[in-house]
């Protein structure tokens, strides 16, 4: 289960006079692939970061499966996020990047190895498990970032423009890969992009945002 | 682009720089070599011909300096004081730098100003008040007192170097670690410290070198012979009426040996840490 509900979600940054996000209300059904589409600066990443618990919420609520999680710290929300910059830990090899989140959750060592190897095999990362991120191509890094989210089997996936650093050809391949993975796993996904083609080809439903509001 | 026929012009352009580097090397390396040579000669030999190369290598002077002049005690004292101070400086400095670089809290700028203002205060200005404070807390003439003074005195520089480096670590890494379930303290140990290792090596090496050679605080705050550190121990060879220059040179070579070893091992990492962020 992983139904995400936003109710009157608003965000004002310190020192800012206007609301960056204005009373966003929407529900993402369990297993649904929802895309937040809008121009740069429209507040879509702020919405994503508030769902993740990385930004304090000014007003409104975020709920998962009917439970309000405004006060729940990011580390306890059971949400995985793929960042635009991939945010791979540069001092760890691919195996440890994938296993990092599992270790914190006290998953037994054997189970960690099984899940990391299965995820690596699924994403074609098995030959690169001992490599550090700097020794990987852009596409491989992107897959490690995706693998790090998948391996945890969270309630919700959040994607913050994860394809924007890839070249056009790789973007198409990775997009298809993402769609396939989400279909296979069936975990609720909220995907932020300003690319209309991406939004149309990937999502079950699109939410368009402009100037902090859902339009 | 310079054609092959004009390469001499490129060499000519570089020659003033080369000359400067050679002069600088001679200026800084010359005295060191002179002391190194003197450390293997006896004082009468040195007075007879100050710049001559040794006719016989007196390695036994190193054993003499170590055993007859209480040098082992000074060396041990220096090791305790400097290693403890450097460990404390690294741990506390890294935590302070991590907080200043990563968190936006009320009073952030004031805290940074207060901590970094330590950079502009000369030690001569602080010595009287430190003397009084250590007396009040019964820490005068103790190694613990000297360690605390070293930590307080060098925290500003440590934080300054580390904060610059830590601030460049992308925020996304910290956010990713939080979503992976790690607390702020765990993120500091597992993300900031390993990624900031080059900067940590820089501060460890710099602090070690500066504190190992520190004289002013040590001479004022330590009085008993068995508590003295190496820079004070060297003074043993300088009496008010005589100067055993040969043994002084040997003592200096023993004192700087750990520094040379440390610099030899970590110089590359240190330079990397200091220049990180200079070019984005």
CATH of the domain at B110: 1.10.3720.10
pLDDT at B237: 72
pLDDT at A25: 94
* Number of domains into which chain B is organized: 2
Q: Is residue B256 included in any domain, yes or no?
A: yes
Cα–Cα distance measured from residue B95 to residue A68, given in angstroms and rounded to the nearest whole number: 33
Q: Is residue B265 included in any domain, yes or no?
A: yes
At A78, list the tokens.
Answer: 């059971």
Mean pLDDT of B115-120: 86
Give per-residue pLDDT as tens, A144-201: 998 999 898 899 999 999 888 778 888 888 888 888 888 888 899 999 999 998 899 8
Q: Are residues B26 and B124 in the same domain?
A: no
A-chain residue closest to B183, CA distance:
A75
Q: Which of A90, A102, A116, A152 to substitute to test the interface with B, most B CBs within 10 Å?
A: A90
Of A72-76, A162-166, B270-274, the poorest mean pLDDT is in B270-274
Give per-residue pLDDT as tens, B146-198: 999 999 999 999 999 999 999 999 999 999 999 999 999 999 999 999 999 88
Give per-residue pLDDT as tens, A97-133: 999 999 998 889 999 999 999 999 988 899 999 999 9
Q: Are residues B194 and B138 in the same domain?
A: yes
Q: Are residues B24 and B128 in the same domain?
A: no
Q: Are residues B184 and B83 in the same domain?
A: yes
In whole numbers, what is the pLDDT of chain B averaged over residues?
A: 88
Q: Are residues B101 and B10 in the same domain?
A: no
Higher pLDDT, A73 or B66: A73
Q: How far off is chain A from B106, nearest CA to CA, in Å?
A: 12
Question: Is the pLDDT score of B256 beyond 90?
Answer: no
Q: Is residue B47 included in any domain, yes or no?
A: no
Q: How far is CA A133 from CA A143, B4, B35, in A?
A: 11, 41, 48
pLDDT at B106: 86
Q: Is residue B43 included in any domain, yes or no?
A: no
Q: Decide if A45 contacts A71 (C-beta within 8 A).
A: no
Q: Is residue B44 included in any domain, yes or no?
A: no
Q: Is residue B55 included in any domain, yes or no?
A: no
Q: Are residues B20 and B91 in the same domain?
A: no
B25-32: list long-range contacts, CB under 8 Å, 24+ apart.
none
Cα–Cα distance measured from residue B227 to residue B232, given in angstroms and rounded to the nearest whole number: 10
pLDDT at B280: 33
Q: Which of A13, A96, A100 to substitute to test the interface with B, most B CBs within 10 Å?
A: A100
A-chain residue closest to B184, CA distance:
A75
Q: Is residue B252 included in any domain, yes or no?
A: yes
pLDDT at B273: 61
Collect all residues of chain A within an 8 Å Cβ-Cβ radius of residue B179: 52-54, 74-75, 77, 79-81, 101
Q: Are residues B75 and B201 in the same domain?
A: yes
Chain pair A-B, CB pairs under 8 angstroms: 60
Instruction: Answer whether B175 sits within 8 Å of A100, measured CB to CB.
Output: no
pLDDT at B276: 53
Question: Is the pLDDT score of B274 beyond 70?
Answer: no
Q: Are residues B191 and B112 in the same domain?
A: yes
B154-157: list long-range contacts, CB under 8 Å, 24+ apart.
B154/B85, B154/B89, B154/B207, B154/B210, B154/B211, B155/B89, B155/B92, B155/B93, B155/B96, B155/B115, B155/B118, B156/B115, B156/B116, B156/B117, B156/B118, B156/B119, B157/B118, B157/B119, B157/B203, B157/B206, B157/B207
Q: Are residues B154 and B15 in the same domain?
A: no
Quick one: residue A34, left, alpha or beta (phi over 0 = left, psi -120 to 50 = alpha)? beta
pLDDT at B239: 66
Q: How far is CA A136 from CA A80, A142, A195, B50, in A?
A: 22, 10, 25, 60
Residues 6+ apart with CB under 8 A from B213: B231, B255, B259
Cα–Cα distance measured from residue B178 to residue B188, given in angstroms and rounded to the nearest whole number: 11
Collect all residues of chain A within an 8 Å Cβ-Cβ radius of residue B173: 87, 89-90
Give pTM, 2 decimals.
0.81
Q: Are residues B128 and B196 in the same domain?
A: yes
pLDDT at B36: 92
The DSSP H or E segment spanning B38 is helix B7-38
Q: Are residues B139 and B253 in the same domain?
A: yes
Mean pLDDT of A47-59: 94
Structural domain of residue B8, as residue ranges? 4-38
Higher pLDDT, B104 or A49: A49
Instruction: Answer whether A52 sits within 8 Å of B181, measured CB to CB.
Output: no
How many Cα atoms are found within 13 Å in the side-chain-facing hemisphere of A136? Answer: 26
ipTM score for this prediction: 0.90
Provide the 8-state DSSP code for B54. Answer: P
Q: Is residue B89 included in any domain, yes or no?
A: yes
Instruction: Answer whether B173 sits within 8 Å of A75, measured CB to CB.
Output: no
Q: Are residues B136 and B10 in the same domain?
A: no
């Amino acid at each position: 289960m992983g139904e995400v509900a936003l109710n009157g979600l608003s965000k004002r940054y310190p020192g800012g006079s206007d609301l960056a996000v204005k009373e966003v209300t929407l529900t993402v059904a369990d297993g649904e692939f929802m895309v937040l589409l809008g121009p740069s600066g429209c507040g879509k990443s702020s919405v994503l970061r508030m769902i993740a618990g990385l930004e304090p919420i000014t007003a409104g609520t975020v709920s998962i499966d009917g439970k309000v999680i405004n006060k729940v710290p990011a580390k306890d929300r059971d949400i995985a996020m793929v960042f635009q910059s991939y945010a791979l830990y540069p001092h760890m090899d691919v195996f440890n990047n994938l296993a990092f989140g599992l270790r914190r959750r006290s998953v037994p060592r054997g189970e960690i190895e099984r899940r990391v190897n299965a995820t690596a095999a699924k994403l074609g990362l098995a030959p690169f498990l001992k490599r550090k991120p700097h020794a990987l191509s852009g596409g491989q890094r992107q897959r490690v970032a995706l693998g790090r989210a998948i391996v945890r089997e969270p309630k919700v996936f959040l994607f913050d423009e994860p394809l924007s650093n890839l070249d056009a050809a790789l973007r198409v391949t990775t997009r298809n890969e993402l769609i396939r993975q989400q279909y296979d796993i069936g975990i609720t996904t909220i995907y932020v992009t300003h690319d209309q083609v991406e939004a149309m080809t990937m999502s079950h439903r699109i939410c368009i945002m402009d100037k902090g509001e859902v339009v | 682009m310079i054609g092959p026929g004009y390469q001499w012009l490129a060499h000519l352009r570089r020659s003033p720089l080369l000359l400067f580097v050679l002069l600088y090397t001679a200026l800084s390396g010359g005295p060191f070599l002179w002391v190194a040579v003197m450390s293997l000669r006896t004082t009468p030999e040195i007075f007879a011909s100050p710049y001559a190369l040794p006719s016989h290598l007196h390695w036994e002077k190193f054993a003499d300096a170590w055993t007859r002049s209480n040098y082992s005690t000074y060396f041990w004292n220096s090791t305790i004081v400097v290693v403890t101070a450097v460990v404390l400086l690294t741990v506390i400095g890294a935590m302070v730098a991590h907080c200043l670089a990563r968190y936006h809290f009320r009073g952030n700028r004031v805290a940074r100003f207060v901590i970094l203002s330590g950079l502009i205060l000369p030690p001569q200005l602080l010595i009287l008040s430190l003397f009084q404070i250590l007396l009040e807390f019964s820490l005068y003439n103790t190694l613990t007192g000297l360690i605390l003074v070293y930590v307080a005195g060098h925290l500003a520089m440590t934080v300054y170097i580390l904060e610059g480096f830590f601030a460049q670590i992308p925020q996304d890494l910290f956010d990713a670690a939080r979503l992976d379930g790690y607390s702020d303290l765990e993120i500091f140990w597992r993300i900031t410290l390993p990624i900031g290792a080059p900067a940590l090596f820089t501060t460890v090496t710099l602090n070690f070198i500066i504190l190992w050679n520190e004289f002013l605080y040590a001479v004022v705050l330590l009085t008993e012979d068995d508590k003295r550190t190496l820079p004070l121990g060297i003074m043993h060879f300088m009496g008010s009426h005589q100067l055993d220059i040969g043994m002084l040179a040997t003592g200096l070579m023993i004192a700087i040996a750990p520094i040379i070893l440390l610099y030899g091992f970590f110089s590359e990492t240190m330079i990397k840490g200091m220049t990180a962020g200079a070019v984005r």
